[in-house]
């Protein structure tokens, strides 16, 4: 019998009630670039969904949101088959495979969208995230 712990994550589509938790996790990861709930909502609501893709998911463990992932078009350099992904994991639960599970979901969605390119971003203050993306070809 293995001593490995099995990750048990639930995934659901993002709900407007998730903005507060999204903000907490984002700001914990990027304290130099904090955002407000109003900024998130305004950006999301300004996206013309008839032209641009934006899909966000919440990932839960034991009914608590531990991460988010999204796939979207980059509206200021639009191409119908090029996308940006974001993966946000709550810092206390990093290193347990949550980011990998989020990436798997987003990568599957990129496949359904027939993506020819995807971008992701990080900062020098998050070297593990940068390495995570690099290991996946970014």
Average pLDDT, integer, range 18-29: 96
**Homologous superfamily in CATH for domain 10-135:** Gcn5-related N-acetyltransferase (GNAT) (3.40.630.30)
- So where are the chain's domains? 10-135
Q: What is the 3-state secondary structure (H, E, C) of the chain?
A: CCCCCCCCCEEEECCHHHHHHHHHHHHHHCHHHCCCHHHHHHHHHHCCCCCCCEEEEEEEECCEEEEEEEEECCHHHCCCCEEEEEEEECHHHCCCCHHHHHHHHHHHHHHHCCCCEEECCCCCCCHHHHHHHHHCCC
Average pLDDT, the chain: 92
pTM score: 0.91
Q: What is the pLDDT of residues 110-133, one digit of tens each?
A: 999 999 999 998 888 888 888 999
């Amino acid at each position: 019998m293995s001593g490995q712990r099995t990750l048990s994550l639930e995934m659901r589509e993002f709900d407007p009630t998730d903005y507060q938790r999204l903000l907490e996790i984002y700001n914990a990861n990027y304290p130099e670039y904090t955002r407000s709930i109003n900024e998130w909502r305004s950006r999301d609501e300004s996206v013309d969904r008839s032209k641009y893709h934006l899909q966000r998911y919440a990932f839960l463990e034991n009914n608590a949101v531990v991460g988010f992932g999204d796939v979207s078009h980059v509206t200021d350099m639009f191409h119908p088959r090029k996308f940006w992904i974001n993966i946000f994991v709550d810092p206390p639960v990093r290193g347990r495979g949550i980011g990998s599970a989020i990436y798997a979901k987003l990568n599957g969605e990129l496949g359904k969208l027939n993506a020819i390119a995807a971008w992701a971003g990080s900062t020098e203050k998050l070297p593990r995230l940068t390495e995570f993306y690099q290991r996946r070809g970014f």
